[in-house]
Amino acid sequence: MTEPSSASLEVTDLRVEFATPSGTLTAVDGVSLTLAERESIAIVGESGSGKSVFARTLIDLLAANGTRTGTITVGGRDIDRLTKAERKHFFGVQAAMVFQDPMTSLNPVKRIGVQLTESMRYHLGMTSKDADLRAAGLLRQVHIPSPEQRMRQYPHELSGGMRQRVVIAMALACEPQLLIADEPTTALDVTVQKAILDLIDDLRSERNMSLILITHDLGVAEGRADRIGVMYAGRLMELSSSRDLFDHMRHPYTEALLQSIPSTNMRSHTRLHPIPGRPPDLLDPPVGCAFAARCKYAQPDCLERKPPLEEQAPNHFAACYHPVGTDAGREALAANRAAGETAAGLSLDPNEEEFV
C-alpha cells in the first residue's frame, strides 16, 4: 500500500480482542494505516464497527479484558518500546483525544479551571499561575467568552457545546502532534455540531496537527478529511481520498451507506434504501467477507475467504472481490438480480433502481 512517507502515525496489522464470558470477541481485525504530518483522516462506519476501540487503542486506553497485537508508532516512536516513565508523559502530550460525551469526560465535582490546568502542571511542570493563564488563553482560542469566569464554574453549569469546547481545550493543553476526535458532536444541535467541527478544522490548521475524526456520518467526513477510511466488523473496507471516495466508491458497503442517507440532490419522495440484515456476530465471525450476507454483489468466493485491502485505483484501496463500478462488480450484480438472490441468500428485486 502506497502511503505518505512523512508519518505522524503508523499502524501495522492492529488486532484487538476482548475476552468475554461468551468467548473471544475480535473488535479490530488487522487494520493497517499511515497518517502523514498535518493530514486528516475520517474513520466511518456503523455503531459496533470497531471505530472507537481502534481510536482508544491508539492512545493506550484498552479495557482490562482486552489484548492487542500489531505495532503503533506515533511521531516515529513505537509505543510498545516506551518505558513506564515515558508513557506517563507521552499520551496526552504527543497524542490526545476528544471523547464523544463531554459530560462523562469531565469530572462533575471539579471546577473547569482545575481540570484544564492539571495536565499542564503534571506534564509540563508549570506553576499554578502560569497554568491558569494558559488555560484562560485556551478557552479564548476555542471561543469561550469570559474564560476567567468559566474556569470557576462546574461542568453542569455549561451548555453541551461549551462543555465540548472545554474538552477540546483540555486535549490541546499540551500541544499534541496527533489529535483523535471520537464522534465529538454526538447529541449536539446541528448548528453547534458545525461550529465544533469548524473549530477543530481551524485549530488543526493553526497548530499543524494530524487529525483522526471518528464518525458514523459520511456527510460529516466529506470535505473535512483529506482521506476517509470505511470500517466494518473491525476491518478497513475502503480507504481513499475524500473526493475520490464519493466520486468513485469501490466497496458495496460504502455504496450502501450512501444509499441509506438522504441527499439534497434527490427528487421529492425518493425512497431511501436501508442496509438489509445486521452486522455479523464478532464472537463467531464469518469465514469470508464480513459484509457478504448483506451485500447485493456477493458471490461464492466472497463466502470462502476474506478479501484483502488492495489498491483498486491509484491510492484507492478496497477489500472486495467484486468492486462497485468495475466489470467484476457489474457482472456479479447482474447475475444476482437474474437469479433473484445472492450467493449468501439475500433476496434481490430485479426492478430496483440503480443508485446514482
pLDDT tens column, 62-87: 999 999 999 999 989 999 999 988 98
Q: In whole angstroms, give the CA distance from residue 201 to residue 51.
A: 20
Q: In whole angstroms, give the CA distance from residue 12 to residue 15.
A: 9
Strands 178-182 and 210-215: parallel
Q: In whole angstroms, give the CA distance from residue 151 to residue 190.
A: 26
Cα 66 to Cα 53, 57, 185: the distances in Å are: 10, 10, 27
In 15-159, which ranges are continuous DSSP H helix?
Answer: 51-58, 84-88, 102-105, 112-123, 128-141, 147-151
Through-space distance between the first and last CA atoms of the chain, rounded to whole angstroms? 29
- Look at residue 351 in the predicted model and tell me its pLDDT: 67
- Look at residue 2 in the predicted model and tell me its pLDDT: 37
Domain boundaries, the chain: 102-174
Would you place residue 353 in the very low, low, confident or very high pLDDT band (cuts 50, 70, 90)? low
* Under 8 Å between Cβ of 11 and 72: yes
The distance between the two most distant Cα atoms of the chain, rounded to a whole number of Å, is: 73
Give the residue from 26, 76, 79, 75 showing the smallest Cα distance to 54: 26
Average pLDDT, the chain: 90
Q: Give residue-wise pLDDT tens across range 45-68.
A: 988 899 999 999 999 999 999 999
Q: In whole angstroms, give the CA distance from residue 349 to residue 123.
A: 60
Q: Give residue-wise pLDDT tens across range 184-219.
A: 887 678 888 888 888 899 888 888 899 999 998 888
* Whether residue 236 has pLDDT greater than 70: yes
Q: In whole angstroms, give the CA distance from residue 113 to residue 68.
A: 35
Mean pLDDT across 313-329: 95
Tell me the percentage of the chain whose pLDDT exceeds 90.
69
* Under 8 Å between Cβ of 73 and 255: no
pTM of the model as a whole: 0.90
Give the residue from 283, 260, 312, 227 showing the smallest Cα distance to 46: 260
Q: In whole angstroms, give the CA distance from residue 332 to residue 16.
A: 33
Residue linked to cell 466529506: 222
Would you place residue 356 in the very low, low, confident or very high pLDDT band (cuts 50, 70, 90)? very low
